[in-house]
Structure 1
Amino acid sequence: MNINWYPGHMKKTKDLLKSQLKLVDIVIELLDARIPLSSKNPSIDEIIGNKPKLIVLNKIDLAHDGETRRWENYYKSQGFNAIPVNTMTGAGVREIMNEAQNITQEKMDNLKKKGIINRPIRLMIVGIPNVGKSSIINRLAGKKSAKTGDRPGVTKGKQWIRLRGNMELLDTPGILWPKFEDEEVALNLAFTGAIKDEIMDTETLAYRLVQRLYNKYETNFVERYNIDRNIEDPLEVMNAIAINRGCILSKKEIDYDRVSNLILDEFRAGKLGKITLESPINEGE
């Protein structure tokens, strides 16, 4: 798998993030509930240091409910609150705001004692591409969102967005990019669309997805594509799906490009059901 990595770019990103951390009270680390480990930037804990942090598990509408609960318990055992969120319905958004207030309560009380009244709680959201940061921001801001302008010390172009509940968010789009330390991480990010399909051909990607999912989520495939439950080989599963969905070329050959895109698109859209690719038990919970 050919994945480029640019150390110079990462250093610049780290330096930018560290400089902006001084301006915020709390960092919200946004993870994909289907791949909480793979969607975590491996440098984020080092970068934010002792800054208060709140973990948000986004896209729970696409993730397996039982696995999401296990991830909540896992993070709780690690000393973090992890809030599951569905930006489609807004579920969990109020909990983000409540928890941010709880975590920063002592600091805000100290500011009041110094005569600083009604100073907004300042947040920063970090997360990899396609993890739903914009949707979270829109939910937090509500319909009356408004940029509050540059503040001293803020890199030019970075804006504060006014949120509900006397909060402000430092908007830093695209500030983080995942480091691919192993193939499994890269595959998980590719499966969920966090990185472009061009890192590997879609046929191979779809095959690897079927290979990964079919044993655990066989019923999902059977019900979605009306295929024989007794099929075991991933390629034969793809062939059966192609036949049932009409992904056929001339001379009755399988159109692997079309069926591969079909499988990937339907998995990413949740049409295969609620599926989680990583379990905390694999990390020695």
Structure 2
Amino acid sequence: MNINWYPGHMKKTRELLKDQLKLIDVVFELLDARLPFSSKNPDIDNIIGSKPKVIILNKVDLADEGATAKWINYYKERNITAIPINTLTGAGLRQVTIEGEKAIKEKMDALISKGRKPRAARIMMVGIPNVGKSSIINKLAGKKSAQTGDRPGVTKGKQWIRLRGNMELLDTPGILWPKFEDQEVALKLAFTGAIRDEILDVETLALKLIEYLVEKHPENLKERYNLVGELGTPLETMEEMAKRRGCIIRGGEFDYTRIANIILDEFRAGKIGRITLEYPEDLLKDNEETLESINEIELKEE
């Protein structure tokens, strides 16, 4: 699969972020706890520059607890604050507010020292599509201020929202980046619903997800779909799942589209288990291999 999705409104949102940044005191960067590396838009750091930033790891209720702990430690070792939150229970949201206040305290103190009245802290929340920004904003605001949905592209334009305490937040649509250089990153984003299913071949996408789960989490698949014995190829596994779920059409043929949508929906809802798609050690290993490759090239040139 060759996946890319960068509709026109994302380009407009990128320009909006740059234009509104001068009004902002602190940026909340929202990542998916199941794939903190792949759900990070590489353009964001360039856009926000030196603005104070707090990283929020959302959907921890869908991610492996041990993996989330590793990611928090990974960021801590790099002097980056990363807060895990669960919007269903509200766990971690108070810490988000505290970290936001800490990030702008110096600026507010400077205003007071000049005899000016402290104003509302201005926050910008950024992230990829379908990462849960609107749900978090509604929790922080204490009311339904932002439209929510389980598909990417629900938020269409910017809106300022008053939060509890003396804070204002600029909500913006989720944005990806113009081109996925690494298709593994694109696949992970597609697995979690950050890319519209309408532009994808969902049957092939589901086969790719089954391939990953057969390798990494076979027991989860067996338990969820009542599969027995050794799992076969991704296609054989999909067909067995189709049998178990009654995804059969006239003539006894498998309804591949239906079973594909079922596994994608159930994975995204955490019904197959709390599954993290990437770990810090994978990222570090990739960086080490890249460095080794560069060193080998330099040695050959010498």
> Taking structure 2 as the reference length, what is the TM-score of the superposition?
0.84
What do residues 117-159 of structure 1 show as CA deviations (whole Å, max 9, x unaligned)? 331111000011101111111011113869xxxxxxxxxx844
Structure 2 residue matching 1:37: 3-state secondary structure? coil
2:149 maps to none
Structure 1 residue 14 displacement after superposition: 3.7
What do residues 220-277 of structure 1 show as CA deviations (whole Å, max 9, x unaligned)? 1111111014113222211211111111123322221111111111101111011111
2:126 maps to 126
Please identify, of 20-29 and 193-202, the stretch whose mean Cα deviation from structure 2 is larger.
Answer: 193-202
| Superposed counterparts of 1:69-218, under 5 Å | 69-143=69-143, 158-174=158-174, 176-179=175-178, 180-218=180-218
1:5 and 1:259 map into 2 onto residues whose CA distance is: 24
1:150 maps to none
2:251 maps to 251
1:8 and 1:209 map into 2 onto residues whose CA distance is: 28
Structure 2 residue matching 1:22: 3-state secondary structure? helix
Cα distance change on mapping 1:6 and 1:62 into 2, 3 Å: closer
Cα distance change on mapping 1:221 and 1:81 into 2, 3 Å: same
CA contact 1:122–1:170 (8 Å) conserved in 2: yes
Cα distance change on mapping 1:5 and 1:59 into 2, 3 Å: closer
Amino acid at match of 2:51: K
1:185 and 1:95 map into 2 onto residues whose CA distance is: 29
Structure 1 residue 17 displacement after superposition: 1.4
Aligned length: 274
2:105 and 2:92 map into 1 onto residues whose CA distance is: 20
CA contact 2:56–2:82 (8 Å) conserved in 1: yes
1:246 and 1:222 map into 2 onto residues whose CA distance is: 16
Identity of aligned residues (%): 64
2:266 maps to 266
Amino acid at match of 1:191: F
1:237 maps to 237
CA contact 2:202–2:257 (8 Å) conserved in 1: yes
1:41 maps to 41
What do residues 36-76 of structure 1 show as CA deviations (whole Å, max 9, x unaligned)? 11211111111111100000011111111111111111111
1:183 and 1:4 map into 2 onto residues whose CA distance is: 9
CA contact 1:39–1:178 (8 Å) conserved in 2: no
Structure 1 residue 22 displacement after superposition: 0.9
> Taking structure 1 as the reference length, what is the TM-score of the superposition?
0.89
Q: Cα RMSD over matched residues?
A: 2.2
Amino acid at match of 1:240: E
Amino acid at match of 2:191: F
Amino acid at match of 1:267: F
